[in-house]
Chains A and B, each alone.
Chain A
Amino acid sequence: MSFIFSLVAVTVLVLVPLVGVTVADLRWLFGVVVPYAAVATFLIGVSYRVLKWSNSPVPFRIPTTCGQAKGLPWIKTNKLDNPCSLPAVIGRMFLEVFLFRSLFRNTRMEYHQGPKVRYGSSKWLWLFGLLFHYSFLVVLIRHLRFFTEPVPMWVQIVEHIDTFFEMGLPLPGPDGLYVGLPLLAQSGVILLAAATLLFLRRVVIAQVRYISIAGDWFPLLLIIFIAKTGIIMRYVLKVDVVTVKKLTMSLVALKPELPADPISFMFYIHIFLVSFLFAYFPFSKLMHLGGVWLSPTRNLVNNSREKRHINPWNPEVKFHTYAEYEDDFREQMIEAGIPVEKEA
């Protein structure tokens, strides 16, 4: 159900700009208003959520320790899985955020009659996840070309590396000369492939399908459609990049202006889907991008025996004092020869 709902939702999101631009000629709305509104929603929403999280207290120091703690000096500490200092936490967070350390541990439980419970290595989720996120990052960086003039060197470098395996198949150009295909960016293809694999995994693995809600299907489908429309624009429709850049640069300059030359409807679909993704981001699970940095089981030093951690709301509670205890049991204590504060 939630999958069908998500598929319908994404389809509607494709049809809205298609109809809007081709039938109603709402190019200003889809080319200018929507992108601005989306970016504003993204910035305000993400800041709000992250500030809300970071302003909420961390009452206890609760790292999940995944290795040997710092203890007796002759016992070797596993600093990265059980950080005993700030640099070690930074190391742990780096591995977590950039290399998905915890996901790398993943195992697969196999149940056999007997009973025999066995555990196999399972790195697929880690691999798909890593490919997905890094190709997405490269795609984002490549798109900075549309928002900068001159294009910064580092963006060009990323682009150069990304198109390293050039697939310049010779094709006849409009004037009869042979021209190459636009350089094939691996990132776009990998993004589409990895998102598709993550999607298939969600469909095929019964338990994962069972737990999936619209909030899981929808962003995956949205991203798959974004990648597809991007690839279609680049390789099939060969949308005029120069015209697109005129529009995007005018957006950056806060002097929005629709270029005189027409831009393909596919561009409007693409930018609408991207806008929707941006606007949807702060309200969704995609906020794991911000949350992963703030997870108290990962980003705290495991030194709570060495250094006192302060709970800002440490509650006032009623204690049962020793005096009350002795009052309850004084006679028995004396009889049993246990020292008391007050003789009976």
Chain B
Amino acid sequence: MATQTPKPQEIAKGLSHQPPSENWMDTKPEFRSGMYCHPVKVASLEGMGGAFAREWNPTEADWKLPADWKGIVKDGLKDRLRRFRSFQVFMDICVRCGACADKCHFFIGTGDPKNMPVLRAELIRSIYRGEFRTAGKILGKLAGGRKLTEEVIKEWFYYFFQCTECRRCSVFCPYGIDTAEITIIAREILNLLGLQIDWIGTPVNACYHVGNHLGLKPHTFKENIEYLLGDIEENVGITIEPSFNRKGAEILFVTPSGDVFADPGIFTCMSYLILFEYLGLDYTWSTYASEGGNFGFFTSNETMKRLNYKMYAESKRLGVKWILGGECGHMWRVVHQYMDTMNGPADHLEVPRSPITGTVFENAKSTKMVHVTEFTADLIKNGKLNLDKSRNDHYTVTWHDSCNTSRGFGFLEEPRYVLRNVVNNFYEMPDQTIREQTFCCGSGSGLNAGENLEQRFRGGLPRANAVQFVHEKHGVNMLANICAIDRAALKPLMDYWVPAVNVCGLSELVANALVIPGEKAARSTNLRGEEINDLREEAGLEPIEWPEEDEEGGEAGEEGEE
């Protein structure tokens, strides 16, 4: 497992992007520890009514495929060729120009030619030609066709769970061929054979039955947030009493559950709580719709719909006017490009209107769901937040555009506007690594597991390397983003490749800068419980002279610089 992960220099030295001499159809993937994810647990797959749940192991020869697996795959392919114009067109028109070849983070980080997006798609396209098209049937390999074998299925499993559906290749393709679309469909087909990874299958099952990926039951979900409230009280000095499942609230707030659970996501979650309290927002959390993320998106369109259903259903039950969504990448691709189509129309909701500024979000008039960052940008634009940027001066920040919000949404300027208003030191990474050309964290689309660390660190190399560039050039020490998977995945990635850089959600920087009525006279510790003056000293800044503390402030003062 994690112990076998090679050192950064070992990976760096061994990297070559030259393809081998033998034809790619003659090579097989090696299921090496650290480079693949574990199969889904039987109970998780059965919980969702998935087919052919069984114990199996990718490293063993026999994958215990169902008897008629070949028929299932062929029918599955035919069915999807018929239902998705994208899939049919993408199977037919690739000219193999190679423009996408070096755009994939997994290709850059592994050198494995089958990670070139064109070849990843050819893994299926070759079957499409060899099984369904006359020329491929007759000429076989010469015409790029091959027959469906168990080896092909194993190869699909390896490479379609080594694609994060980030769509970077699609930006450069002259026909817009989107490997994410192909991977989504490939995973649907693998699912038909009961082939799924646990880091997707188990969260999906938990989300469906319990309400969130982590399987936090209603009382635990509430307790987790209450725990954060305790930290807020200690570090900021304000008391917050959010509501859960409250009928009649104006707004339902939904965020990825990773934010109520793990560092550094919890600091983002604390920031939401602080911001909404500051605004006096009439909102509620839901323990039922307690998951913004949607791992169903990484299994099948049907599963995505089943999980996403809860947001609209809960907003209807609670009678809220509109939905506010937290910082998340793929959640926002789903909310933006799929939700209304799958589970709409949301006629029970109203066109979102900020109760603070009066701004009507016309751009969300059908989904009725607003991104917390555009909500915040609107607040700042209208002067509704009292911000002291200098409180973030010990951070030199760079911005990581998340794949999904960039290439499946176009949410580029809103976060930058917020960022510029809450920090003084902001440097962009090189142009070819940001905005629509941004690089994936290497762990998206459900690959953020513990057993595939080498795969993740390799896939994250281009992102980490761009961070290293601005770290060395501008002294960047904080990587900000609006994605829960990024928050979870970029931290270990930075620790691996660029140890001096930390990771945070955008809202955390907002909360840091927010001057809150009733806050402790000395906010000498940040949300993370770190002494701000220690951080300032590290950054070469003068310490802040905190005012005298009263009562509870004493504790922080003891450890603080005097």
Q: Which of B247, B340, B407 contacts A305 (CB 8 A)?
A: B340
Q: Are B211 and A68 in contact (CB under 8 A)?
A: no
Contacts of A288 in B (CB 8 A): 93-95, 174-175
Q: How far is the CA of A216 from the CA of B436 in the complex (A)?
A: 29
The 8 A CB mask of A301-317 against B (1 = contact, 0 = none) is 01011111111011101
Assuming the contacts A211-B118, A308-B344, asked whether A313 and B83 have C-beta atoms less than 8 A apart, the reply is yes
State whether A100 touches B170 (Cβ < 8 A).
no
- B412, A67: Cβ atoms under 8 Å? yes
Question: Do residues A70 and B363 form an inter-chain contact, with CB atoms below 8 A?
Answer: yes
Residues from chain A with Cβ under 8 Å of B177 in the complex: 295, 297
Is A297 touching B170 in the complex (CB atoms < 8 A)?
A: yes
Q: Which residue of A lies closest to B125 (CB)?
A: A213
List of B residues within 8 angstroms of A76 by Cβ: 413
CB distance from A305 to the nearest CB of B (A): 4
Contact B306 A307 (CB under 8 A): no
Name B342's contact: one of A113, A205, A307, A314 (CB within 8 Å): A314
Interface class of chain B by DSSP: helix
Q: Nearest CB to that of B17 among chain A residues?
A: A111
| B341 contacts A49, C-beta separation under 8 Å | no
Which of B287, B362, B465 meets A333, CB within 8 Å? Answer: B287
The answer to whether B89 touches A71, judged by C-beta atoms less than 8 angstroms apart, is: no
Q: Does B29 contact A (CB under 8 A)?
A: no
- Given A72-B414, A313-B83, residue A65 in contact with residue B222 (CB < 8 A): no
Q: Are B101 and A207 in contact (CB under 8 A)?
A: yes
From B313, B336, B377, contact of A322 by CB (8 A): B313
Query: Interface with A: B66-74, B138-146, B264-272, which one?
Result: B138-146
Main secondary structure of the interface of A (DSSP, over half): loop
**A40–chain B nearest beta-carbon distance, Å:** 18
User: What count of chain A residues pass the 8 Å CB interface test?
Assistant: 99
Contact residues in B for A318 (Cβ distance below 8 Å): 49, 306
> Are B171 and A114 in contact, CB atoms less than 8 angstroms apart?
no
- Nearest neighbor of B430 in chain A, beta-carbon distance: A119
In the complex, which of the residues A62, A81, A107, A205 contacts B86, with contact meaning CB atoms closer than 8 Å? A62
B25: nearest chain-A partner, CB-CB? A213
Find chain B residues with CB under 8 A from A96 CB: 174, 176
A109 interface hit (Cβ, 8 Å): yes
- For the complex, is A69 an interface residue (Cβ under 8 Å from B)? yes
Contacting pair A338 B96 (CB below 8 A): no
Which residues 211-247 in B have Cβ within 8 Å of A in the complex?
211, 217-219, 222-223, 244-247
**Does residue B451 face the partner (Cβ distance < 8 Å to A)?**
no
- Of the listed residues B13, B134, B219, the one surrounded by the most CB atoms of chain A closer than 10 A to its CB is B219
Looking at the complex, which one of A60, A283, A313, A321 makes contact with B337 (CB distance below 8 Å)? A60
Of the residues B89, B142, B412, B465, contact of A116 by C-beta under 8 Å: B465
Q: Which residues of B contact A52 (CB under 8 A)?
A: 88
Contact A339 B144 (CB under 8 A): no
Residue A329 is within 8 A (CB to CB) of chain B in the complex: yes
Cβ 8 A contact of B89, one of A57, A114, A294 = A294
Query: What is the distance, in angstroms, from A188's C-beta to the closest C-beta of chain B?
Result: 22
Pull 8 A–B residue pairs with CB atoms less than 8 Å apart, ordered by A: A53-B92, A69-B410, A72-B359, A285-B95, A302-B409, A307-B366, A319-B306, A319-B310
What 10 additional pairs, Cβ within 8 angstroms, besides A207-B98, A211-B98?
A105-B171, A109-B108, A115-B461, A207-B17, A211-B118, A296-B176, A305-B335, A305-B336, A305-B363, A325-B288
Chain B residues at the A interface, C-beta cutoff of 8 Å: 8, 11-13, 15, 17-19, 23-24, 49, 81-86, 88-90, 92-99, 101-103, 108, 113, 116, 118-119, 122, 133-135, 139, 141-144, 167, 170-178, 181, 208-209, 211, 217-219, 222-223, 244-247, 287-288, 301-302, 305-306, 309-310, 313-314, 317, 335-338, 340-342, 344-345, 359, 362-367, 369, 374, 377-378, 381, 406-414, 417, 430, 432-433, 435-437, 461-462, 465-466
